[in-house]
Amino acid sequence: MKSSAIHVVVMGVAGAGKSTIAEALSQELGWDMAEADQFHPAENINKMESGTPLTDEDRWPWLRSIRDWMSAEAKAGKNTVLTCSALKHTYRELLSEAEGTVVFVHLDGSPELLRERMGGREGHFMPPTLLPSQLATLEPLTEAELAQGSVRLDISQKPEAIVSAVVERLNLSAA
């Protein structure tokens, strides 16, 4: 039997506001939250810090560990909010294998706004120089993903408006 847990994956390229939105959603709903970055092995972090884009081979073990975390949370009866770039459809397919229902919230914005936001961040290992490679890799949500409940939202809105739109459009309620 499929778990009734819901996993909201806040996705998009670096600088889209994934952490801000996921934290606010987690607080609003009272759901557990995780940052996908915490699942990266040290080798991946070292590559990104040096300005080297990750390959698919780098990403598969990382994505499987995220999927497994969501499944463990679902088996414990918990809904989750997670940040994850989830740039490619195949990555989202792997994450969707988790126990429960996985929906994606794609935070989308102009390259100029994303660059501006990345330039203002401190203490993050993803340098702004990797933004073009992320934008080139990004595969927008498919019609099938949108039909299954995932949503795309414009990051030029205030975080409160984005969180309200997520809760309303996905018909979510507190734990």
Residue 92 forms part of a structural domain: yes
Residue 135 forms part of a structural domain: yes
pTM over 0.85: yes
Read off the pLDDT of residues 69-90 as tens digits, 9 standing for 90 and up.
Answer: 999 999 999 999 999 999 999 9
> Sign of torsion, CA 77 86 29 37?
positive
Residue 117 forms part of a structural domain: yes
Distance CA 110, CA 97 (A): 30
Residue 1 forms part of a structural domain: no
Amino acid symbol at 83: T
Mean pLDDT value of segment 2-25: 92
- Say whether pLDDT at 2 is over 80: no
Read off the pLDDT of residues 107-156 as tens digits, 9 standing for 90 and up.
Answer: 999 888 887 776 655 555 556 677 788 888 899 999 999 999 999 999 99
pLDDT score for 1: 45
Residue 71 forms part of a structural domain: yes
Residue 144 forms part of a structural domain: yes
Please give the mean pLDDT across all residues of the chain: 89
Structural domain of 92 = 6-169
Residue 104 forms part of a structural domain: yes
Amino acid symbol at 20: T
Domains in the chain, number: 1
Distance CA 107, CA 138 (A): 12
Residue 174 forms part of a structural domain: no
CATH of the domain at 38: 3.40.50.300
